[in-house]
Structure 1
Amino acid sequence: MSGPLKKQRAVFPVEEYVEEEEDMEQDEMIGQNINVDFEGFPASDSDFHGIKRLLQQSFRGLEVNFSGIADTIIGQNYVGSVIKQVGDDDEEEDEEDEDDNDQVFGVTTIINLTSRKDEECISGLRSALVEQCSKHASDSSSVLFRDILSNESKHVGLLISERLVNLPPQFALPVFDSLRKELAEAKKKDMPYEFAYLLMICKVYKLEKKKKKKNIETELWGNPEEEVFAEESLGTFEYNVKGEASMSGEWDEEDPQYTPFRRVIVLDASRWQEIMAKVKQAIYQ
């Protein structure tokens, strides 16, 4: 699953987590156009730090064991993919360039929150989600969320689809197609990947402006395809993560400052193919 892709300036703020040399190098690339090819690979031990970093981005605002969840993803690498840049075999690369090509640009997988509920890292993730739900969900969404997590006869999958900023929604489609096929193969082997519900944690950015004495709210989606998912959700809640991350990037002083949120949505797993068809239509229309 590869194809040319131009990296362009983000249209929403970058969330910064750790001041590292790698982060500074990425900031310097903002505003530049580069042609790169990507390909999906099974997760391996060497991807641990890249996966963990993406989980910290996705699960911002939740007190969870990122290392344990990264290990879980690597341990079930027969479903899901990590996305890496594909190098040019005709060019000689030094050791530093090879390390850059090993960077994880995205991760997509599904974790069974029901069958793995007794594992420490998954138990902690479930508890963290329930805690945020209790604080921020409406009564109906709170009841739905608690019911689906407590019903062990209907398994709940956490759909993780995270990537570095600036990669467009087209980037996700072949990965989702691959995941669907891998899940089908796993179910043929009686592995626990038959889900009644899917949960997603989406990145949403909000900006409030006053217009004619009214507050007008604008939303931007970190992964634009997830806006379509949200339209099909059975229930949802969100929490503000502004205090959990700072904003960075080369922004003009007049650029609007968006507030980062995480929005948890619940999907009917039986409608997954139908929802994906709508996603593809929205992206390519």
Structure 2
Amino acid sequence: MPGPFKKPRAVYPLEDHNPEESDEDMQQDELIGQTVSNQIDVLGLRINVDFEGFTATDADFHGMKRLLQQCFRGLPVDVSGLTDTIISQNYVGSVIKQVDAEEDDDDEEEEEMQGGEDDGQQVFGVTTVINMTARKDEDCVAGLRTALVERCSSDGPDATTALLRDILGNESKHIGLLVSERLTNLPPQFAIPVFDCLRKEINEAKKKKMPYDFAYLLMICKVYKLEKKKKKRTIETELWGNPEEEVIAEECTASFEYSVKGESSMSGEWDEDDPQYTPFRRVLILEASRLPEIMVKVKQAVQM
């Protein structure tokens, strides 16, 4: 598998971009090629694991798609097409993989020559942003836009549906889909460097006059709910798939949610003796200009 500094061929279907400038002028984000250590739980044991951020390649397709299926559960969208879109814009965003200290350059070159997917390099996370305005004519993005509006119309408040229709229909202000998916055993602290890197990459892309100057950001979050009856009252408990997104949700302009109980692509199951939580997806509408201050609040929350 290519190393963290080996940037693969990029595809620029929409942006007016000069590829000759990419290596010299487009700064690599701080996570690409850097090692981040985290503890994860494996069979009840806490082990230290090192991760690095990589630019997305075709070899990451299946690992990325599996993670994105979690995000888009309950929406009739082309997940394969959206995965391809993310890979094509690898100048923004990253995939997170475990660092294999025993892997050497000869092994990497042999794997590249074989042309197969590196099954040993599991994708632990993917973070990026998709321009839903500039890419509105791509089938997979058009389908996602339609699916979100239809879901909001059936499950969300009328005011939120009106807002969503308005911002998606206003081509003078671009809307981005903020994607932040990772395996559930990675802690919320993991999101901090990932978001910081993405923000820097977006700023670099904006300097290149690429369409990443967003007015709003949409974010699909995994939420699990449990209702308990107590003294003739119903008490609802929420669990967030990515805990930092609860902080982000507090700062959103509007939101709507829908149950995905019984839908396919469920990531994990509850044990028989566990409380049975109902899975939901909550879509946040965020003002993009407030993202820096929102990230400050996220950092404060996860460091407490």
Among residues 61, 68, 71, which one is paired with 1:55 in the alignment?
Answer: 68
Cα distance in 1, alignment partners of residues 280 and 102 from structure 2: 41
Is contact 1:107-1:161 (8 Å) kept?
Answer: yes
Secondary structure of 1:273's aligned partner: helix
Is contact 1:85-1:101 (8 Å) kept?
Answer: no
Is contact 1:114-1:157 (8 Å) kept?
Answer: yes
C-alpha deviation, 1:89, in angstroms: 3.2
Question: Cα 1:243–1:250, aligned 2, differ >3 Å: closer, same or farther?
Answer: closer
Instruction: Render the CA deviation track for 1:66-111: whole Å, top value 9, x for unaligned.
Output: 11101100000000000000011389x9x99x94541111000000
Q: For residue 4 of structure 2, what is the aligned residue in structure 1?
A: none
Cα distance in 1, alignment partners of residues 226 and 74 from structure 2: 19
Cα distance in 2, alignment partners of residues 50 and 225 from structure 1: 23
Q: How does 1:1-285 map to 2 (within 5 A)?
A: 1=31, 2-8=35-41, 29-89=42-102, 99-245=118-264, 246=266, 248-249=268-269, 251=271, 253-285=272-304
Given residue 37 of structure 2, which amino acid in structure 1 is its aligned partner?
A: P
Cα distance in 2, alignment partners of residues 283 and 76 from structure 1: 29
Question: Cα 1:274–1:86, aligned 2, differ >3 Å: closer, same or farther?
Answer: same
Instruction: Render the CA deviation track for 1:215-235: whole Å, top value 9, x for unaligned.
Output: 000000000010011101111
RMSD of Structure 2 on Structure 1 (CA): 2.2
Cα distance in 1, alignment partners of residues 63 and 97 from structure 2: 10
Cα distance in 2, alignment partners of residues 120 and 228 from structure 1: 33
Cα distance in 2, alignment partners of residues 90 and 160 from structure 1: 30
Cα distance in 2, alignment partners of residues 39 and 220 from structure 1: 28
Structure 1 portions without partners, runs of 5+:
9-28
Cα distance in 1, alignment partners of residues 99 and 231 from structure 2: 51
Cα distance in 2, alignment partners of residues 201 and 247 from structure 1: 15
Cα distance in 2, alignment partners of residues 90 and 271 from structure 1: 41
C-alpha deviation, 1:254, in angstroms: 3.0
Which stretch shows the higher mean deviation, 190-199 or 100-109?
A: 100-109
TM-score of the pair, normalised by structure 2: 0.82
Cα distance in 1, alignment partners of residues 282 and 43 from structure 2: 26
Question: Cα 1:249–1:63, aligned 2, differ >3 Å: closer, same or farther?
Answer: closer
Is contact 1:202-1:223 (8 Å) kept?
Answer: yes
Q: For residue 24 of structure 1, what is the aligned residue in structure 2?
A: none
C-alpha deviation, 1:5, in angstroms: 1.8
Secondary structure of 2:214's aligned partner: coil
TM-score of the pair, normalised by structure 1: 0.87
Question: Cα 1:250–1:5, aligned 2, differ >3 Å: closer, same or farther?
Answer: farther
What is the number of residues matched between the two proteins?
263
Given residue 206 of structure 2, which amino acid in structure 1 is its aligned partner?
A: K
Secondary structure of 1:62's aligned partner: coil
C-alpha deviation, 1:32, in angstroms: 3.4
Instruction: Render the CA deviation track for 1:118-171: whole Å, top value 9, x for unaligned.
Output: 011100011111110110111111111111111111100000000011111111
Seq. identity, %: 68
Given residue 84 of structure 2, which amino acid in structure 1 is its aligned partner?
A: D
Instruction: Render the CA deviation track for 1:231-265: whole Å, top value 9, x for unaligned.
Output: 011110001001104574573x4321110000001
Cα distance in 1, alignment partners of residues 143 and 270 from structure 2: 36
Cα distance in 1, alignment partners of residues 268 and 167 from structure 2: 37
Cα distance in 2, alignment partners of residues 126 and 249 from structure 1: 29
Given residue 85 of structure 1, which amino acid in structure 2 is its aligned partner?
A: Q
Cα distance in 2, alignment partners of residues 102 and 227 from structure 1: 30
C-alpha deviation, 1:282, in angstroms: 0.6
